[in-house]
Amino acid sequence: MTLLGKENFTNRTREQSGELATIIHRKDRTEATVTTKAAKGIDRFSLMMSWLSLLARLNRQVWLQAVGRGLYQAGGVGIIQFHAPIIFVNYFGLSATAVGVGVGSSSLAGAVGNVLGGILTDSQRFGRKGTLLLGTGLAALSCVVLTFAHDLLLFIVANLLVGLSLGLYWTAADTAIMDVTTPEDRHNGFAVSVVAESLGVGAGILGGEVLLNRMGNVSMLFAIGSLIFLVFLGLILTAIVETRQNHVQSDETTSGWLIALKDRRLLIFIAVNSLFVTYLALVNETMPLYFTNFLSLHDSDTTAGISASPVNIASLFTLCYVGLGAILQVPIASALGSWGWARPLMLSMGLWGLGFLLVWGMGGLASVPLPYKMGTLGLLGIATVIYRPFASTFLAEIAPETLRGVYTAMSYQCWAIGYFIGPLLGGWALDQSPTVAHNAWIIVALSTICGLIMLWMLARQNVSKQGESAC
C-alpha cells in the first residue's frame, strides 16, 4: 500500500470512529434526557400523592366547614363586600367616603360580635354549632336589608348586621377547625378552608356580575345572597356537628379573657394582624373601585381616561387574585409547612409591600397594560394564600385548648380594626384628587416595614415564652 493510500485509509478510519463516537454520545444524551424526564415525572407524581395523602388525613368536619366557608364567602365577600360599594356609589349615588363610613361601621359591630362570639363559642349552651347558626342567620338578614336599601342609613344598618355576623361566624368557624385537626396537619386544614373561601369569593364576584347584567333591579343581587346563606344554614343544621369538648367550664371562659389580655404574644399578633387585615380590606373593598374609576383595563395602546367596566374588573380579580390563590393555596401551604409560622408570615408581608408598590406604579402611567395588572393582582393573591393558614396556625399554637374561642375572638378584633381603617381611609383617598388616590398606595406599601419589625418581635417573644414554659 502506498503512502497516499495509507493516509486515506487512516482518515477514513478516523471519520468512522468519530461517527461512531457521535452516535454513542447522542444515544447517551437521549437516554439521559429520558431518564431525567422520567425522574421529574416520578417527583411530580410523588408530590401529588403526598398532597393527596395529607388531604386524606383531614377530618370530615374540615371538609364540611370548607364547603360552608365557600358559601359564606360567596354571599359575604363575593356579593356584599365586593359589589355593595360599587353598587351604592355608581348606581345609588353615595360618595365613596359615605360608603367607606358605612363599611367601616361593620367593623365596630364586628368588634362586639367577636367578643360575643368568643363567649358563645366556648359556652355549653351555644358552642361552635350554635354560634355558626346565629352568625349565618344575621348574614342572611343583612342581605334582606340591603335588598331594600338605597340610602346611607339602611346601608349602615345592613353593615352593622354584617359586622355582627362576621364576628360570630369566624370565631366559631376557626375554633371548630382547631378542634378537629392535629398540630401537624393544622396548616393543611386551614389551607383547604382557604381554597374553599377563594372559590366562594370567585363564584360570588363573577356570578354577581353576570346577574347584574341580566337583572333590571340591581338590589335583587342581595336577595340572591340571602338565599346562599339560607343554604348554608341548612348545611349547619344537617351535617356540621358540635366539636366543643365538655371540659370547658364557664368560669374558665370568663377568666380566659384576663389570661388572653396578659399574653404579650397575642397582643403583638393582634397588632401585626391588623395590618394584614387592612391590606385585605383595601384589596377587597377599595381596589376594585380604584381600578374601576381611575384605571383602564385595556392594554397600553388604549386611550387614557377610559374607565374599566365592573364586569371586566370582576373577571380580572377573580382570575388573577382569587383564582390563582385557590390553585396555589395547598401547594404553597405544604411547601412552606416546614418553615414554621414566622418566616412564611414575613414572606407574605414582603410580598404585600411589593404588590402595593406595583399598584402605586400604575398611577404614573397614562394607560396601564393588562399584563401589569394581572401580575400585580397575582402577587397580592400569593401574599394572601401564604398569610391565611399560617396566621391561624400560630394562633392555634399559643391558645390553650380550653380557651380557643376566647383567643380566636381576641385575635379577630384585628378584623374589626382592619376593616374599619381600610375602607374608611381608602374611600377618603378615592374621593380626593387622582394624585392623592394614586400616591396613597405608596404609603400602604411602606407600612409593611412596620409589619416586618412586629413579626420579628413576635418571633422573639414566642421563643422567650417557650423557654419560660420549658423551665
Evaluate if residue 305 carries a pLDDT over 50. no
User: What pLDDT score does 450 carry?
Assistant: 95
Residue pair 114/171 in contact by the 8 Å Cβ criterion: yes
Average pLDDT (325-350) is 87
Q: Residue 305 region, left (φ>0) first, then alpha (ψ -120 to 50), else beta?
A: left
Q: What sign does the CA torsion over 311, 312, 314, 315 have?
A: positive
Evaluate if residue 4 carries a pLDDT over 80. no
Does 209 map to a domain? Answer: yes
Percent of the chain past pLDDT 70, that is, above it, reads 82
Does 70 map to a domain? Answer: yes
Contacts of 127 (CB under 8 A, 6+ apart): 120, 121, 242, 243, 244
Residue pair 254/123 in contact by the 8 Å Cβ criterion: no
Print the SS3 string covering 112-134. HHHHHHHHHHCCCCCHHHHHHHH
> What's the domain count of the chain?
1
H helical segments located in 74-126? 82-90, 96-121
Residue pair 292/433 in contact by the 8 Å Cβ criterion: no
Query: What is the number of helices (H) and of strands (E) in the chain?
Result: 18, 0
Evaluate if residue 38 carries a pLDDT over 50. no
Does 54 map to a domain? Answer: no
pLDDT digits (tens, 9 = 90+) for 218-273: 888 899 999 999 999 999 999 999 887 765 454 455 677 788 888 899 999 999 99
Rounded CA-CA distance 246/228 in Å is: 32
User: What pLDDT score does 251 carry?
Assistant: 45
Domain that holds residue 104: 60-466
Does 26 map to a domain? Answer: no
User: What pLDDT score does 90 carry?
Assistant: 85
The average confidence (pLDDT) of the chain is 81
Evaluate if residue 178 carries a pLDDT over 60. yes
Residue pair 94/222 in contact by the 8 Å Cβ criterion: no
Does 379 map to a domain? Answer: yes
How far apart, in Å, are the Cα atoms of 303 and each of 185, 311, 372? 51, 19, 17
Rounded CA-CA distance 463/146 in Å is: 47
Evaluate if residue 11 carries a pLDDT over 60. no
Contacts of 456 (CB under 8 A, 6+ apart): 346
Does 138 map to a domain? Answer: yes
Does 36 map to a domain? Answer: no
User: What pLDDT score does 96 carry?
Assistant: 82
Does 439 map to a domain? Answer: yes
pLDDT digits (tens, 9 = 90+) for 397-430: 888 877 888 888 888 888 778 888 888 889 899 8
Evaluate if residue 445 carries a pLDDT over 90. yes
Between residues 90 and 245, which one has the greater pLDDT?
A: 90
CATH number at 318 reads 1.20.1250.20
Catalogue the E-assigned strands of 40-85.
none
pLDDT digits (tens, 9 = 90+) for 206-219: 888 888 878 778 88
pLDDT digits (tens, 9 = 90+) for 101-110: 888 788 788 8
Evaluate if residue 40 carries a pLDDT over 80. no
pLDDT digits (tens, 9 = 90+) for 117-175: 888 888 888 888 999 999 999 999 999 999 998 889 999 999 999 999 988 998 899 88
Nearest to 83 by CA among 259, 223, 289, 238: 289
